[in-house]
Amino acid sequence: MRVGIIGSGNIGATVARLLVAAGHEVAIANSRGPESLADLVAELGDRAHAATVEDAAGFGGMVLVAVPLHAHDDLPPAPFAGRIVIDANNYYPGRDGAIDALEAGTTTSSELLAAHLPDAHVVKAFNTMYYVTLGAEGRPQAPRAERLTLFVAGDDPEATARVAALIEELGFAAVVTGPLAEGGRRQQPGTPVYNRPMTPAEAEAALAGDTGGA
């Protein structure tokens, strides 16, 4: 499979390594331009290449977006049309500045991205696990019950299922938290599942005790 990655920080680079190791092709981009990615691409090997944001967005049917939330408005919507966009972003007011709608709880960061990319199929994932854990704890050969959980939320069932399948392929257990509005809110920083490594059974128990609030 061909996957575009927008963002070469901790999450973007880590997911790129996982994808390449699993045999997928990756086009990775950042705000600084392809030249800044030479070292990372050399590390990733022949299955990866540096690209512009536009080229990475159009590289395959799936695109991971792992940029600071405040930068999502800079993404050009057109190249993302028809793609499954994996939203790995989180809202951190100290970094992103206060966003009134998020502070009021009337929307979620994933819904903001979906509104900015109206012709894409946005799925929330890869945002709840610390990047070091993500890079080291994928266990494709382990029984699903023994794997660590990555959470998934989306409004498009087919897109959500495809992202869940990719997560399982990389050696984690995908647990769906619901549509973007409810499910995305349940994955935000400060929730019971955020940055807490857990098995699927532990994840389901945590979600069962979560009212879906802030």
Give the pLDDT band (50/70/90) at residue 179. Answer: very high
Distance between CA atoms of residues 72 and 91, nearest Å:
11
- Is residue 170 assigned to a domain? yes
- Is residue 8 assigned to a domain? yes
Averaged pLDDT score across all residues of the chain:
95
- Is residue 214 assigned to a domain? no
- Is residue 172 assigned to a domain? yes
Residue whose pair of structure tokens reads 């709880």 in the numeric block: 105
Per-residue pLDDT averaged across 20-36, rounded? 96
Alpha helices in the chain (DSSP H): 10-21, 38-44, 53-57, 93-96, 100-104, 109-116, 131-136, 157-169, 180-185, 200-208
State residue 198's pLDDT score.
97
For 142-171, write each residue's pLDDT tens digit: 999 999 999 999 999 999 999 999 999 999
CA-atom Rg of the chain in angstroms: 16
Q: What's the whole-model pTM score?
A: 0.94
- Is residue 101 assigned to a domain? yes
State residue 103's pLDDT score.
93
Kindly report the CATH number assigned to the domain that includes residue 149.
3.40.50.720
State residue 213's pLDDT score.
44
State residue 209's pLDDT score.
85
The answer to whether 199 and 145 have CB atoms below 8 angstroms apart is yes
Per-residue pLDDT averaged across 44-70, rounded? 96
How many domains in the chain? 1
* Domain housing 124: 2-208
DSSP 121-135: EEEE-S-SS-HHHHH
- Is residue 123 assigned to a domain? yes
| Direct distance between the N- and C-terminal alpha carbons of the chain, in angstroms, rounded to an integer | 36
